[in-house]
């Protein structure tokens, strides 16, 4: 079933919307949650919370991309669960991925920083547009979907060392890109 029809089902408040959403995007939601949490039971709960979140927000929202909308909800819910589960513990792939980006993007969030979040997001989108397909995929899969280095190496048929090197260079490129646009990093 196509996304527009699934969204229509949500607007009709049909329970079939949840089953169609689960059929189409349940796997990717589970992958995101599992990558963040590394715990199957918590990941399942987060995926179910994602479905509830979609149910609660559509309508009134009508996302342009249902996949992006669902992935963002799944990721945010999973990250919140991760933070709750690991209160003041540093372990897991989420912490590793975020710490890799610390050198590129300031993590201190003030009211002024929140105002600039959309601009930063736009800059990151521009940066991603400058990358070739494989580097863009590596960056997005590592820092959005939180895939492991080993998984990325397997996907791309590169060595784990090559993936680490590419990601390091991409972070350096992002830092320079943001500095050239006046972003404090």
pLDDT digits (tens, 9 = 90+) for 87-102: 655 555 666 666 676 6
Instruction: List, in order of start, the domains of the chain with CATH numbers.
Output: 3-85 (1.10.1740.10), 95-180 (1.10.10.10)
pLDDT of residue 145: 84
Structure tokens at 32: 């995101």
Q: Which residues of the chain have pLDDT under 50?
A: 111-112, 114-115
pLDDT of residue 111: 44
pLDDT of residue 33: 93
With a CB cutoff of 8 Å and minimum separation 6, the contacts of 175 are 103, 104, 185
Cα–Cα distance list, 79 to 71, 125, 153 (Å): 12, 21, 24
pTM exceeds 0.75, yes or no = no
- The closest alpha carbon to 143, from 127, 158, 157, belongs to 127
């Amino acid at each position: 079933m196509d996304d527009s029809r699934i969204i229509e089902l949500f607007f009709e408040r049909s329970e079939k919307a949840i089953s169609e959403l689960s059929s189409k995007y349940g796997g990717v939601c589970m992958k995101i949650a599992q990558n963040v949490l590394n715990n199957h039971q918590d990941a399942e709960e987060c995926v179910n919370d994602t479905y509830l979140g979609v149910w609660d927000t559509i309508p009134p929202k009508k996302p342009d991309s249902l996949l992006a909308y669902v992935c963002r909800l799944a990721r945010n819910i999973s990250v919140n669960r991760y933070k709750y589960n690991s209160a003041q513990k540093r372990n897991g792939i989420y912490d590793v991925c975020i710490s890799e980006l610390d050198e590129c993007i300031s993590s201190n969030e003030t009211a002024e920083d929140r105002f600039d979040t959309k601009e930063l997001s736009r800059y990151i989108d521009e940066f991603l547009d400058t990358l070739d397909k494989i580097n863009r995929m590596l960056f997005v899969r590592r820092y959005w979907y939180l895939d492991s280095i080993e998984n990325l190496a397997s996907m791309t048929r590169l060595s784990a060392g090559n993936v680490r090197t590419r990601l390091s260079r991409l972070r350096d490129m992002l830092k320079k890109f943001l500095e050239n646009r006046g972003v404090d990093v």
